[in-house]
Structure 1
Amino acid sequence: MRINMRIALAQNNYIVGDIKYNLQLIKNSVIQAEERNADIVVFSELALCGYPPEDLLLRPDLYLIVDKALEEIKSIDTRVAMVIGHPRRQGTEIYNSASFIHNGECLLCYDKQLLPNYEVFDEKRYFTAGSQCPVVEFKGVKISLLICEDLWFKEPAKVAKLAGAELILSPNASPYYHGKAEVRGQEMASRASENNIPVVYVNQIGGQDELIFDGCSSAYNSNGECVFMAAEMAEDFACIDFDKATDRLTSLEQSYKQWDDEEEIWQALVLGVKDYVRKNGFPGALLGLSGGIDSAVTLAVAVDALGKENVNAVMMPYRYTASMSVEDAQAESEALGVEFDIISIEPICDAFMQQMQPQLEGTEPGVTEQNIQARCRGTILMGLSNKFGRLVLTTGNKSEVAVGYCTLYGDMAGGLDVLKDVPKTMVYQLARYRNTVSPVIPERVITRPPSAELAPEQVDEDNLPPYEVLDEILEAYVEHDKSISDIVSLGHDEETVRKVIRLVDINEHKRRQAPIGIRISSRAFGRDRRYPITSGFGRQFK
């Protein structure tokens, strides 16, 4: 095959706002591209500042630093052309741009045309949409640049083809949810085949607050055939050859095998914890280990992300804590090799209750007393975090967070909720998956009825429907905005549906005060789902 050009895909893990760090990653990739005899190296969307930069884009000094970095990129002594994503300010307008730089010159600057403003995206808050689709000729090939959302709709690629483009290079920052890679691949393949034009797609990877970017950079021939897919949840660098005579891309390396469901979600959680802790400068993490399934899975994720030497587990028993819970927590800690401490909350809770006794006299013990236990535990964990600098990981799953089965300033106290977007039923699946790697979660932790152990013989199903039922209702209501009648029509009891929906609605105030969590679904709590705290909407359906 005669090669017209070799295209390098630089799948990097950037830090939002750290232009100096990102610039060094770009320089390192240019060196790799030279070593691989590449003609062009393509970077991801807004690579210079990282994605999403959010309100950093409103700071005038950001553009001074970005523009200086762009000049430094132009001065790099290299024969390799570079496609660099960066924000661009012109007068009062801000653009999401990509520049094609070669031999110290910007041969083309493209402004993103379609600005997403749904789910986790807020681009219309910051950017002005571009209106042109210019083409640059390089080594005899006419190239168009399209950025991320531009390829999710038909028109931009069609316009690029009509403008004479023979190849599309696409910088992206496409956040992950479970199943996203398949959806994304179908769209990219469609754009290539609809327009009979090869597409090279470069995504970033890494955790950014609650978002995960999974990589999976890829290349598609003009018939829609995927010729290469890069690593999932990891940095990668690959080269693709383009032959203009045959209009074909050929990969120089094999595609990475994509993971099965549980492994993919596990690796997303690991990446999210690793990057949140690393990028924010924490020396490690700690968590309350209860002997239950949620904290066991959280501990295993934390160890896989940070290493056993950087994780501390704390068991905080009370009079209602079963002896097997202490035993299982210790067994988990030993299996994972982490530091393990036991701190009883009995005297602390007793002191609280004694001081409050005059005010509580004549009332029946109930949720108040249970929540005091949780708040004692939260105070201990935050105290250890203050002293040793480690980040507190909370352990609430999506099912609990949805219905408010958690305590403000108690088990919700912390900096990152690892399982916030993971339904309880998936937590069990993840536990079984992790035990296939190495046995770290005792079997009875997986098989025993889940309990907060805040009252004698308490189990979750005293207050909630079975998790198999609850999770189906929550998926319909939270992720798909189904109505009561829609959910009942799926085969659920109407009284149960109404109870669950009411719990979701009245606990919005808790979720606003909860730590952020790693997004693995197409609709997570946080920036993805924005409901008013004060709302009478549900009263209309009584």
Structure 2
Amino acid sequence: MAETLKLTIAQQNCVLGELEKNLEKHYQAIEEAIEHKSKLIVFPELSLTGYFLRDAVVEVALHIDDAKLNHLRDLSQHIAIDVGLVELSDKYEFFNTQVIFYQGEVIARHRKVYLPTYSLFEEKRYFSSGTRIRAFDTPIGKLGLLICEDMWHPTSGLILAHDGASIIIVSAAGVARGVSEDDKPQNVRVWETLNRSMAVFTTSFIVFANRVGVEDGVPFWGGSEIIHPSGKSLIQAPYFKEFNLHCKIDLLELKHARVNTQLLKEENFDLLLYEFKRIAEQNRQY
């Protein structure tokens, strides 16, 4: 693994249900990232399709081997590419999935585990839930992938960090809701606190890729950023604006952070297993 990693976050406005238009936007961002000599480019949740798809899920779904993804595979000869899509499985299920292509192959894939179905969200109506949270060995380091709501469950990040991930990539379609005292949407402040907290208690780099634009009158706020294991924001994209964020992270700083902070080493797995099993058994009694 290299001591540094140069990467790009493509904070894009996805066109709802328009796969070809979104692919063209991806190609442009990827070419720019290659020019910047980035080794990885990260796109937001469902970047190839848009978010509020509803019944259009069936129309835009792609099998992982679909020929429509071939040009992404070709471009991945030069850079690792993390994209969000509606995945059609071999069993004809639909998943909200992030996939990393590199050297023409799929080197990592995460199916969203926690599907929000409340308020304006209705993902369980259209998607199946993923059943795994795993870190992936890749030529650019050991990575973990999460998608939006997955990040709101602290155990997701803990699993990835203990599985060896040094970088946790979070792709999101975060909507702006509420207003705080500084006129920043209230949930934006919550998201940013959550990202920083995850960086600290997993002592990992957090790469947060959020989208922008409006669908059905609902705005997405952007603010993509890269967070140091200390919780410090290294760089952040603007709110509500398309932007390609280029950054280099020093992976040696992860080593120093984990030496100086022993949170992962001190975790008590026997205690966690015992208490979670106890709680699960109690819940089954109701």
What TM-score range do you get, normalising by the shorter chain?
0.7 to 0.9
Pick aligned residue for 1:208 from 208, 215, 220? 215
Task: Report the AA paired with residue 98 of structure 2.
Answer: A
Residue pairs, 1:89-238, within 5 angstroms: 89-90=88-89, 91-139=91-139, 141-177=141-177, 178-238=185-245
Residue 517 of structure 1 is matched in structure 2 by: none
In terms of fraction of residues, the more strand-rich structure is 2
Give CA deviations for 1:348-399 in whole Å, capped at 9, x if unaligned: xxxxxxxxxxxxxxxxxxxxxxxxxxxxxxxxxxxxxxxxxxxxxxxxxxxx
2:9 maps to: 9
Measure how far apart 1:119 and its partner are.
1.7
Distance 1:140 1:42, change over 3 A: closer
| Per-residue deviation, 1:157 | 0.6
Q: Whole-Å Cα distance in 1 between the matches of residues 6 and 62 of structure 2?
A: 32
Offset of residue 75 of structure 1 = 2.3
Matches for 1:115-514 after TM superposition, within 5 Å: 115-139=115-139, 141-177=141-177, 178-247=185-254
- What is the CA–CA distance in structure 2 between the aligned matches of 1:184 and 1:62, rounded to whole Å? 28
The 3-state SS of whatever aligns with 1:142 is strand
CA spacing shift, 1:225–1:77, aligned 2, 3 Å: closer
Q: Give the CA deviation at 1:21.
A: 0.4
TM-score, normalised relative to structure 1: 0.44
2: CA distance, partners of 1:54 / 1:204: 18
Name the SS for the 1:200 alignment partner: strand
| 8 A contact 1:6–1:241 mirrored in 2 | yes
CA displacement at 1:242 relative to structure 2: 1.9
Contact 1:3/1:241 (CA < 8 Å) preserved in 2? no
Aligned partner of residue 227 in structure 1, secondary structure: strand
Give yes or no for contact 1:108–1:134 (8 Å, CA) kept in 2. Answer: no
State the alpha-carbon separation in 2 of the partners of residues 94 and 134 from structure 1: 20
Amino acid at match of 1:245: L
- 1:139 shift after superposition: 3.6
Q: Would the alpha carbon gap of residues 65 and 52 (structure 1) be closer, same or farther in structure 2, given more than 3 Å must change?
A: farther
Give the secondary-structure state (helix, strand or coil) at the position aligned to 1:113: coil
Q: CA deviation at 1:124?
A: 0.7
Q: Which residue does 1:35 correspond to in 2?
A: 35
Distance 1:172 1:225 in 2: 20
Q: How many residues align?
A: 246
- Report the CA distance shift for 1:65/1:20 in structure 2 as closer, same or farther (over 3 A): farther
Deviation at residue 190 of structure 1 after TM alignment: 1.2
Separation in structure 2 between the aligned mates of residue 20 and residue 65 of structure 1, nearest angstrom: 16
- What percent identity do the matched residue pairs reach? 25
Displacement after TM superposition at 1:219 (Å): 1.4
State the shift of 1:137 in Å: 2.5
Distance 1:106 1:207, change over 3 A: same
Paired residue type of 1:161: A
Structure 2 gaps, min length 5: 178-184, 256-286
Structure possessing the higher relative contact order (Cα contacts under 8 Å, 6 or more residues apart): 2
What is aligned with 2:22? 22
Asked if structure 2 preserves the Cα contact closer than 8 Å seen for 1:133 and 1:163, the reply is: no
What displacement does 1:211 show?
0.8
Shift in alpha-carbon separation, 1:194–1:77, aligned structure 2, 3 A:
closer
In the TM superposition, residue 159 of structure 1 has moved relative to its aligned partner by 0.7
Q: Which runs of 5+ in 1 are unaligned?
A: 249-542
2:121 & 2:131 partners in 1: Cα distance?
20
Taking a change above 3 Å as real, the CA distance of residues 223 and 162 of structure 1, as seen in their structure-2 partners, is same
Contact 1:49-1:66 at 8 Å conserved across structures: no
Residues 26 and 131 of structure 1, relative CA distance in 2, 3 Å threshold: same
Residue 83 of structure 1 aligns with which residue? Answer: 82
